[in-house]
Structure 1
Amino acid sequence: MNKIKSILKEPVFHFLLIGSLLFVTYQSFNNYLNRDKHVIVVNNDEIQMLEQSWEMRWNRPPTAQEREGMINGEVREKVLYRTAIEMGLDKQDRVTRRRLAQQVELLGAGMIQSPQPSEADLVKYYEDHKEEFRNPETVTITQIFFDPDKRGDATLDDANAALNSLNLQNDPNGNFSAIGDAFMLPKYFPNKTEMEIRRQFGTGFTKSVFELEAGKWHGPVLSGYGTHLVFVHNHEINELPDYTMVRDFLRDEWMAQKKTELEEQYIEGLMARYVVVIEN
């Protein structure tokens, strides 16, 4: 008995006892963590969301078999996700990392609501961006084509002779079928924007046409097709629309821009939580 008491008083015994207790505690705690880490829970809220999603898609509640299939699918997804995290794919795989980053970005965007603009906000936005609301310039033209493949070196001379004749006639609405050559595009182009003319004739022709004086024949004007004579019927420089006409559109644009700014602030806030080290 005295020997046992002596052993119990030894510091080495105390050290071994404390070490054994720590080991048992660590093992128990570690087993608990591992057990919890390998437990998949599908709670009632998740099941309810699955059922609601099913009803929205199929316009009816799921059968018992379909419900079981949805739950099994949810379990399968959670198992695969948990496995991916354990494998470190969220850190090592670029595609997985990008998708998780996009998911966080989308969640943040979904939580952000743009504030309602005041009337002063809309007026200022209109003043700052009013040129964006101006309707594009348009021209109405008649063109007569002279084919260089057919006329060769005489193309410009023929066009100039026709120009003199047309100016003497002074009839922009006359019959020009006997003047010029056959062409795949029409002669008359009413109320066309710069982009529409460029799409048909190219940049050089378009630039020339929008600089021409209205009410007379001009030429020769060159395009990628050949040589043209052009009569400018009118040249519309459209005015800015009144503020009241575009107010609803202004409101939508203002709110969209403000939401984008708030989303950027959200990302900047997340980034501010970290120290960024770029190794050279």
Structure 2
Amino acid sequence: MSFLKEPFFHFALLGAIVFAWFSFANPEPFQGPSPGQGHNEITIDQPLIGAMKAQFRAKLNRNPTALELNGVIDNHVKTEIMVREAKSLGLDDGDSIIRNRLVQKMTFLATSAAQAVVPDDETLKAYLNNNAEQFVSAARISFDQFGLGETIESVDVVSVAASLKNGEQPDVSFLRFLPEAIKDANARQIDATFGKGFFEQLADLPIGTWSGPVRSGFGYHLVRVSELVPPSLPPLSSIRDKVLFGWQQSLAEDLSEAQDASLQEGYVISRPTPEELEAWVTK
């Protein structure tokens, strides 16, 4: 992806933008005292009130009343006290739920950065062509079928086929619970009705003539295929949202990998050698 020729640069740039947006759109209670505050001091200042009003307005589409805002402040104070006391007791150490939540927030930065990028049509066309297998429309078929029964030993298949080709209704008819005509259905739909592998057999039949017998999960059939539409790659204009979603998902994965690599550069990581690991496993 040409956009990611310098993934670390793009991650840093987009991550900074999204982090600023995230901090503005999702203000949360302080996780500890502000500079100059002691452990037992909680200050409800104007910026925090503004953040509370913004959250309230985002949820209910209106500003809070003074009484409602006072209730929000009460809840904030209770939450802040509980968080500080829990952290002072070390309750956050080794908590997998808290750790996973923090990882989710970090991952959110890369995902949001990707969603904020709107590529041009040329970029999306290139992604569509390079990942055609994700977007190819399934083959579809239309056909008529005549049920011969669970077995064909007692049926004059040639005579039945001749009658059908002449536009006549054969004297015998079985498997009446199955639809006689199917219009514009894909393999999943066909196999769900007639049994696995039925569509694959129909795809090899000639168009416009009665053929068979063809085996289904219920027995044997004579089939006349009227139309077979092969798999095709739709134009970008008809699946643009789907292609955009796929492109952004791919970008998010690339940014996440860049994020991991960039962050790991700031750490000294000591880990066992392959030999040590093998020895520990066998102990």
TM-score by length of structure 2 reads 0.70
- Alignment partners' CA distance in 2, 1:144 and 1:205: 14
Q: Which residue of 1 aligns with 2:152?
A: 156
After superposition, the Cα gap between the structure-2 partners of 1:222 and 1:113, relative to the gap in structure 1 and judged at 3 Å, is closer
Match of 2:221 among 224, 228, 235: 228
Q: Helix, strand or coil: the match of 1:157?
A: coil
Does the 8 Å CA contact 1:167/1:216 hold for their aligned counterparts?
A: no
Match of 1:215 among 193, 204, 208: 208
Which structure's residues are more often helix, by fraction?
1
Q: Which residue of 2 aligns with 1:58?
A: 60
Task: Note the aligned Cα RMSD (angstroms).
Answer: 3.1
Q: Helix, strand or coil: the match of 1:219?
A: strand
After superposition, the Cα gap between the structure-2 partners of 1:44 and 1:203, relative to the gap in structure 1 and judged at 3 Å, is same
Q: How do 1:161-176 and structure 2 match up within 5 A?
A: 161=156, 163-171=157-165, 175=169
After superposition, the Cα gap between the structure-2 partners of 1:193 and 1:270, relative to the gap in structure 1 and judged at 3 Å, is same
- Alignment partners' CA distance in 2, 1:276 and 1:210: 57
1:270 partnered with 2:263: yes
- Alignment partners' CA distance in 2, 1:216 and 1:185: 20
Does the 8 Å CA contact 2:210/2:222 hold for their aligned counterparts?
A: yes
Q: How do 1:1-280 and structure 2 match up within 5 A?
A: 36-107=38-109, 109-110=111-112, 114-118=116-120, 120-148=122-150, 155-159=151-155, 161=156, 163-171=157-165, 175=169, 178-242=171-235, 246=239, 250-278=243-271
1:195 maps to a residue whose letter is: R
1:55 maps to a residue whose letter is: R
After superposition, the Cα gap between the structure-2 partners of 1:109 and 1:172, relative to the gap in structure 1 and judged at 3 Å, is farther
- Alignment partners' CA distance in 2, 1:172 and 1:46: 84
> In the TM superposition, what is the alpha-carbon distance from 1:133 to its structure 2 partner?
3.3
After superposition, the Cα gap between the structure-2 partners of 1:101 and 1:127, relative to the gap in structure 1 and judged at 3 Å, is closer
Q: Helix, strand or coil: the match of 2:131?
A: helix
After superposition, the Cα gap between the structure-2 partners of 1:123 and 1:93, relative to the gap in structure 1 and judged at 3 Å, is closer
Structure 2, gaps ≥5 residues long: 1-34, 273-279
Does the 8 Å CA contact 1:214/1:232 hold for their aligned counterparts?
A: yes
Task: Among all aligned residue pairs of Structure 1 and Structure 2, give the percentage whose two residues are the same amino acid.
Answer: 26
- Alignment partners' CA distance in 1, 2:192 and 2:260: 41
TM-score by length of structure 1 reads 0.71
Q: Helix, strand or coil: the match of 1:215?
A: coil
Residue deviations 1:13-49 (CA, integer Å, cap 9, x gap): xxxxxxxxxxxxxxxxxxxx99723322333222212
Q: Helix, strand or coil: the match of 2:227?
A: strand
After superposition, the Cα gap between the structure-2 partners of 1:104 and 1:81, relative to the gap in structure 1 and judged at 3 Å, is farther
Does the 8 Å CA contact 2:161/2:222 hold for their aligned counterparts?
A: no
Q: Which residue of 1 aligns with 2:7?
A: none
1:265 maps to a residue whose letter is: A
After superposition, the Cα gap between the structure-2 partners of 1:190 and 1:125, relative to the gap in structure 1 and judged at 3 Å, is same
> In the TM superposition, what is the alpha-carbon distance from 1:239 to its structure 2 partner?
4.0
- Alignment partners' CA distance in 1, 2:101 and 2:237: 43
Higher radius of gyration, 1 or 2: 1
- Alignment partners' CA distance in 2, 1:78 and 1:191: 61
